[in-house]
């Protein structure tokens, strides 16, 4: 069996764009920025490089992306690599590498259109009825 698997944690560069297709299916496209930090062997300087990844989401995942993600949102993405080639109107060849998203986890503490508070980062659940009942001896 072959494996084509990509895992990224990064931030959205801009608001996702939505494209309805003639088939009726939705497509959302967005760019995720990831960075890599290392120390140069000779100069001992700290260096930083940012990579940009084009991500495509289909169907219900596209609906979620459009509804809840915005510029700067921190996300975890799992998907697969896809390479495409095409020719434009001037017959020039173009190539692109995209990540087709299969799973997405929102790591930012708040969704679009909501004020965030420090408690939003973690899901909390109140005590159950059993915990509230005090047994008398």
Q: How many other CB atoms are found less than 10 A from the CB of residue 87? A: 9
Convert the pLDDT of each residue in 96-112 to its tens digit.
Answer: 999 999 999 999 876 54
In three-state secondary structure terms, 49 is strand
pLDDT of residue 18: 93
The tokens of 121 are what?
């980062």
Q: How many residues does the chain have?
A: 137
| DSSP letter assigned to residue 41 | T
Sequence-distant (6+) residues with CB within 8 A of 115 are none
Q: pTM for the full model?
A: 0.72
Walk me through the domains of the chain, giving residue ranges and CATH numbers. Answer: 6-132 (2.40.50.140)
């Amino acid at each position: 069996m072959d494996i084509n698997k990509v895992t990224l944690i990064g931030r959205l560069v801009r608001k996702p764009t939505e494209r309805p297709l003639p088939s009726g299916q939705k497509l959302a496209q967005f760019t995720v920025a990831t960075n890599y930090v290392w120390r140069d062997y000779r100069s001992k300087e700290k260096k930083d490089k940012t990579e940009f990844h084009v991500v495509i989401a289909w169907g219900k995942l596209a609906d979620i992306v459009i509804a809840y993600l915005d510029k700067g949102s921190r996300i975890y993405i799992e998907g697969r690599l896809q390479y495409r080639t095409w020719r434009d109107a001037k017959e020039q060849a173009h190539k692109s590498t995209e990540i087709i998203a299969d799973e997405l986890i929102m790591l930012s503490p708040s969704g679009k259109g909501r004020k965030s508070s420090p408690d939003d980062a973690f899901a909390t659940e109140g005590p159950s009825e059993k915990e509230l009942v005090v047994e008398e001896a």
